[in-house]
Amino acid sequence: MKKHILSAVIPALLVPPAMACTTILVGNEASSDGSFIVARNEDYSANNPKHFLIHPRVEHQKGEFKSHANDFTYPLPETSLRYSAISDFDTNDLSMGEVGFNEAGVGMTATETIYNGQQVLKFDPYVEKTGITEDAIENVILPRIHSAREGVELLGKIIEEKGAGEGFGVAFVDEHEVWYLETGSGHQWMAAKLPRDQYFVSANQGRLRNYNPEDKANYLGSKTLISFAEQHGLYSLKDGEFDFHKAYSQDVENDITYNYPRVWTVQHMFNPELKTTITDGTAFPVFLKPAHKISVADVQTALRNHYQGTAHDPYANNNPKEPYRPISVFRTQESHVLQVRPKLPKAIGEVAYVAIGMPSLSVYVPYYQGMEHYLPGYDKGTDKFSDDSVSWKYRQLQTLVMQNYNAYAPEVEKAYAEFEKNTAVQQTAMEKEYLKLYQSQPQQAQKVLQTFEDKVMQDALSLTEQLTRQVMTQMTHDTDMKYHFEGA
């Protein structure tokens, strides 16, 4: 990061929205190993532990999905595909799925909170009472789709017919492509297919711009997307080509400190030659060809960014009032990186790397699409600390470290980095063994995969517990020295 540019302007801090995320998408020709990558930090509340779930395939299903967030309902599919989800603790594990893969090989992440323009919302407001929201999107869409494009089409259909209850961006991935959909208003939306040789970054703001309704291979949108904008004075033919962002999104003062720095930082990580300035978000490219191929580890590094090495690092500088909102925040509930490698069997070719809690103080553990179960404790936890919850085990360590970030964070970060490096070696060995067995001995191949998963989950937990004891020991000593009262 170019410190002198990042430190150039510090506008007054505005109160940020409660729900906020950062999304990164990478095409297969822009990645280092030919994989598609879809990633996001899910940010909301540190006291909201996540439940990791695998929903089984269900045949002859009847009834309807009922949202926990509002009165949105939708018929259940007759056949519900098996799919994974990371849900909130207070939704009975039936909604707020956030991220996962289904048995057809489709992955999705939902949602990136975005804010549509106040002018367009006067004409077509969000359908807050009965429209689809983040609470429903994965659990309604993922059990029934067989491609990324089908996911876009179904979500778009729901937005047009039932409305969107809020502004959001949703990414879909399969073995062929990545699609990203953004709302425009209560019933308007557009989606673009990610160019194979490029990447995309979003940070709580509508980012899509170009839209060609004739090019249905690369663009999809609501039936009246352009005509609605024309009708209400949001776009005119004399303005030139239709710009979705100008018509349906917004650029306000809060974006300068809350959103622009995150997009700028990632783009300058992957393209150091860029000349954009951090305060001019309207000039940021939408899609970019990276200067160097991007790896899963590169994306994880980006999701861990908190402007380290600059005057804007709120943790190293012990400044909770830092104007620039970091990518990695304490209230991150989980951070995920979906990787799809088309040349491998789906069971091992699709991996969700998930760091529980604040990613810069957590570890990315690989969860393969073909795994059958999580360890006990992955589906436990409420908003009150408990020892039986895996989410709370990670959060406990992070809370302790944040009491003195400079003293405790380096050792934690170092230990987790070594763990991820060693795990990558173990993954290669496991995948090689799986490939030898999966056609002739599928049950044995499945056993190899699940044995690996059980071990890496347990090893990550054991390391976390060890680090917690280590930090607690040091904190006890530091407190003793601070209030020692040794006497004469």
User: Active-site residues: which are they?
Assistant: 21
- Identity of residue 130: T
- Which amino acid, one-letter code, is at 237? L
Beta strands in 218-347 (DSSP E): 219-221, 287-288, 332-340
The amino acid at residue 188 is Q
DSSP state of 485: -
Q: Where are the extended beta strands (E) located within 359-464?
A: 365-368
- Please say whether the beta carbons of 142 and 102 come within 8 A: yes
- Return the amino acid letter for 344: L
Structure tokens at 129: 């009472």
- The CA distance from 163 to 187, in Å, is 5
Give me 437's structure tokens. 């067995």
270 touches 294 (CB < 8 A): yes
Cα-Cα-Cα-Cα dihedral sign, residues 288, 293, 298, 299: positive
Read off the tokens for 176.
């062929």
461-468 long-range Cβ contacts below 8 angstroms, 24+ apart: 461/375, 461/390, 461/393, 463/363, 463/415, 463/416, 463/419, 464/363, 464/393, 464/394, 464/397, 465/393, 467/397, 467/411, 467/412, 467/415, 468/393, 468/396, 468/397, 468/400
The answer to whether 102 and 35 are in contact (CB under 8 A) is no
Nearest Cα to 150, choosing from 107, 214, 206, 99? 107
Separation of alpha carbons 333 and 158, rounded Å: 27
